[in-house]
Amino acid sequence: MKTHVKFVKIFFFFLILLFFLACEEELYSPVPDVRVNLTIDLSLQDADLIPTLATKTFTKPRLEIDRIGFGGILIINGYSTNGEANLFAYDLACPVEANSSVKVIPDDIGKAKCPKCEAIYSIAYGTGMPESKSKYPLKSYAVRKIGEKKYNVLN
């Protein structure tokens, strides 16, 4: 009976040790957390975001209550399965550079590129994952539908 208890203790010790050794390093964005609060209205001033893969950048608040993150906000109408807008939001600051004045530039095929380090990010599916020259994804923000054609970007 004593060997059974000893075996169980050793088994759990190795199980816990394996758990800690098997965990991958989590990568946190070097882009600092800065408040974000922006309203997108597809029926008015943001109607240019309606086509799939359309992008828009915000580097200055439009209203006094707007908060645009660290380097500004990049919005893309990414791929959708239901035909409705599928908006994704990212901080414009390149996570490799972590400088508010170094901003990624979106293209028309669902990618964004840093002009300084040349890192490329996938933005069409809402991940912001790096495709080259970066181990960090773009910092992403939540987009919530608040009306028929109104959305709120926040963190």
Q: How far apart are CA 67 and CA 84, in angstroms?
A: 26
Q: How far apart are CA 6 and CA 133, in angstroms?
A: 49
- What is the four-CA torsion angle of 38, 97, 140, 85, rounded to 10 degrees? 70
Q: What is the pLDDT along the chain (155 residues), one digit of tens a residue?
A: 566 556 555 555 544 544 554 555 556 779 999 999 999 999 999 999 999 999 999 999 999 999 999 999 999 999 977 777 899 999 999 999 999 999 999 999 999 999 999 999 999 999 999 999 999 999 999 999 999 999 999 99
How many other β-carbons are positioned within 10 Å of the β-carbon of residue 155? Answer: 15
Residue with tokens 């964004």: 112
CATH 2.130.10.10 applies to domain 36-154? no
